[in-house]
Amino acid sequence: MFGDWHQLWVIISTPDNIPIVAMLGLVPFFTWFAFHNMLANDRLIAQLEADPQLARTHHRTTYPYNSRWERELHTNPFLMRKELLAAIIITIILMVWALTLNAPLEEPANASVTMNPAKAPWYFLGLQEMLEYFDPWIAGVLVPTLIIIGLMAIPYIDANPLGNGYYTYHQRRHAVWTFLIGFEAIWLVLVCIGTFIRGPGFMWYWPTQTWDPDRVEFNVNRNLDQILGINGSWISHILPTAWRPEAAIIARALWGIIPMVVYGVLAALFIHWICKRSAYSRKIYSKMSIIQTVTMYIFLITMLFVPVTIFLRLVFRIKYIWETPWFSI
Amino acid sequence: MADQKDGNDRKTTVLEDLKGLKEVVKVKTQEQVEELKKPQETQLYRSIFRIKHDEEPRNRALSTLNNLFFHIHPAKVNRDATRYGYTWGLGGITFYLFIVLVFTGVMLMFYYHPTKVQAFRDILYLENDVPFGRLLRNMHRWAAHLMVMAVWLHMFRVFMSGSYKRPREFNWCVGVLLMVLTLLLSFTGYLLPDDQLGFWAVTVGTNMARATPLLGHQGPFGPQLGMTPYNDVRFALLGGSIVDANALLRAYIWHCIAIPLIASVFMGVHFWRVRKDGGISGPSPVMLESEAKN
């Protein structure tokens, strides 16, 4: 049943979901705010690029400036009073929040009564959502590891010296887009799907659709090889006799390499095309070392694989692209 | 001053002392009142704060540098770096929330036993009987959520202002680890009320550990290496094959002692590196493409 606004309200007003509801407002606000600062600086940069004489004398910030002002202020009180103010504001927010909303407490832990839906805390719902699309060792172990290593690799991959300590969009378009896609379009969207869309049985419920604990979903997901009818009949002729009973498995495992390689090449070409688009990014790209380039490609190709897989699953109902006896992707 | 009328050091008798007592007390009291009008010049005050608080640049600087808690800051900062518009104040807010969490967390520890028999009852006790116990628990819970939000938004700001660039690459890495520790702190705390919510969240979470490659009994190449439910990485996390008493104790120790200690060390490194890398990153003057060094 659609149009069940009460159901939506129940999800939104669940105390532990309040942070992600707040993030729905905070993230767009800070994204706007970052871009507001970026575009202000970009206008100044364009002005200075056009006027080398001005570039030599300009103070180079968009903030109020007076040559008679001291460049530095005393920490006490000019910084500390702001910190105190921030602490007071946060304390007030926290107090009001703690006085108006109670921390949830369910019934005592009981291993024989399963919670439905059984959900992780909101900040891990992105990973739990990935469990729907990937095997547990990928969603639960490999992806978090890659996210952590990938984040830590960012400063060492990003060879662009511009935009160090000031907001700019034009000078670091690729970096900004990469982070917006990775953090907002993938991570936060997955968190929101896990929070607002997934209901009992972790099934897909559109907003305002009533949660139904008795709902049964028929699994219609098929592997890519099943859709294309890869059954190993052609390979069994060339295999040793002893291996022939396993022909279908071997054919599937071998065939699966093809779409993975095709995806990798297409994604790499796409990234290469992006990197070559402007004169400045060509310059940055050409001075990157082999390790930097290879690392960047591996992480970007892997990151883009997540939305591609989710798209294939949700739209074309494809379960695995590459199935082997040891792992499946 | 009390001996003005004599002006000599003749030894006085006790009787004379008593006669002069009234005058002495009057004068001394006046002196004391005058002294207390300037509390900043008392011996007590100076012994604590060590410096005069006059309106002088030098003393302003010393008030920051000579204070254990304030010397995390430099004496002076870039005029534009104090703008909320640049830093959004989020790193400091995250640290403040950590302090709030330590404070409320220690208070909660006074009322909590990490045992299957007591844990859930302690929460009920906190919520219904302990004065301000419900407020305490609510504050701890929501501050934890706020801290996760603040950490993510802080990372977003640092990225968008390009603050991870040279020479701050390593501090960005420390920050990433601190974010992971924040999430782990929050997650280990989730189990402690020992209710259905925490139990199933931790069950779902730790079930993923079964599938760890090599180290989990359901992960790729795990069984080949001899992993079973009774010796794999999930067993190590839970102290057993199911989420039970040992898991509660382990979550408690990780949550209250181990991770806060590790996080404090990383925080120390993080703040120290902010200073050593030249203070906060900006707002720096904008650079032009033609000025980019190779």
Query: Highest-confidence range of A50-59, A86-95, A250-259, B195-204, by mean pLDDT?
Result: A86-95
Nearest to B144 by CA among B197, B195, B88, B184: B184
> How far apart, in Å, are the Cα atoms of A53 and each of A48, A57, A103, B287?
8, 7, 61, 15
Query: What does the pLDDT average to over B150-171?
Result: 94
Predicted local confidence at residue B58, as pLDDT: 85
Euclidean distance between CA atoms B140 and A95, whole angstroms: 11
Task: Compute how many other C-beta atoms are within 10 angstroms of the C-beta atom of residue B146.
Answer: 23
Domain count, chain B: 2
Task: Assess whether pLDDT exceeds 60 at residue A297.
Answer: yes
> In this structure, are B232 and B197 located in the same domain?
yes
Residues B207, B250, single domain; the answer is yes
Mean pLDDT of the region A213-237: 79
Residue B289, number of CB atoms within 10 A of its CB: 14
> Is the dihedral angle over the CA atoms A77, A80, A82, A88 positive or is it negative?
negative
In a domain? residue A210: yes
Task: Assess B216–A contact: CB distance below 8 Å, yes or no.
Answer: yes
Q: Answer whether residue A322 is part of any domain.
A: no
Does residue B58 sit in the same domain as residue B120? no
Per the structure, how many domains does chain A have? 1
Burial status of residue A67 (CB atoms within 10 A of its CB: 0-12, 13-18, 19 or more): exposed
**B189 in reach of chain A (CB within 8 A):** no
Residues B91 and B171 in one domain: yes
ipTM of this predicted complex? 0.92
CB contact set of B163 (below 8 Å; sequence gap of 6+): A164, A165, B157, B172, B280, B281, B282
Q: Which residues of B touch A177 (CB under 8 A)?
A: none
Q: Which domain holds residue B252?
A: 84-280
Task: Check residue B147 and give its pLDDT.
Answer: 96
Please tell me whether residues B32 and B120 are part of one structural domain. no
Helix or strand holding residue A265 (H, E) = helix A257-275
Query: Would B166 be classed as within a structural domain?
Result: yes
**Judged by CB atoms within 8 Å, which residues 51-90 of B form the interface with A?**
57, 60-61, 63-64, 70, 73-86, 88-89
CB atoms within 10 A of CB A85: 12
Same domain, B61 and B88: no
Note the pLDDT tens digit of each residue in B83-96. 888 889 999 999 99
Residue in chain B closest to A279 (alpha carbons) equals B289
- Same domain, yes or no, for B125 and B49? no
Residue B73 lies in a domain: no
pLDDT band at B281 (very low <50, low <70, confident <90, very high): confident
Other Cβ atoms closer than 10 A to B229: 14
Q: Are residues B93 and B134 in the same domain?
A: yes
For residue A5, the tally of other CB atoms under 10 A from its CB is 9
- Per-residue pLDDT at A321 exceeds 90: no
Question: Are residues B24 and B132 part of one domain?
Answer: no
CB B251 within 8 A of CB B169: no
The parent domain of residue A287 ranges over 5-316
φ, ψ of residue A48 to 5 degrees: the values are -70, -35
CB nearest to B163's CB, from A105, A162, A165: A165
Q: Determine the pLDDT at residue A263.
A: 94
Closest-CA residue in chain A for B223?
Answer: A326
| A287 has pLDDT over 70 | yes
Burial class of residue B52 (count of CB atoms within 10 Å of its CB; 0-12, 13-18, 19+): middle
Same domain, B26 and B138: no
Task: Write down the pLDDT at residue B7.
Answer: 54
Asked whether residue A326 is assigned to any structural domain, the reply reads no
Task: Give the 3-state secondary structure of residue A108.
Answer: strand
Mean confidence (pLDDT) of chain A: 89
Give me chain B's average pLDDT, please: 89
Q: Which of residues 229-258 of A touch B (CB under 8 A)?
A: none
Residues in Cβ contact with A237 at an 8 Å cutoff, skipping those fewer than 6 apart: none
B56 forms beta bridges with: none
| CA distances in angstroms from B286 to B81, B91, B155, B168, B279, listed in the order given | 14, 23, 21, 18, 17
Beta pairing partners, A72: B78
- Angle between helix B133-160 and B119-128 (nearest 10): 100
Residue B60: its chain A contacts at CB < 8 A?
74, 76
Looking at the fold, whether B168 and B41 belong to one and the same domain comes out as no
Do B44 and B176 reside in the same domain of the chain?
A: no
Could you say which residues from 257 to 316 on chain A have a Cβ atom under 8 Å away from some Cβ of chain B?
Answer: 280, 283, 287
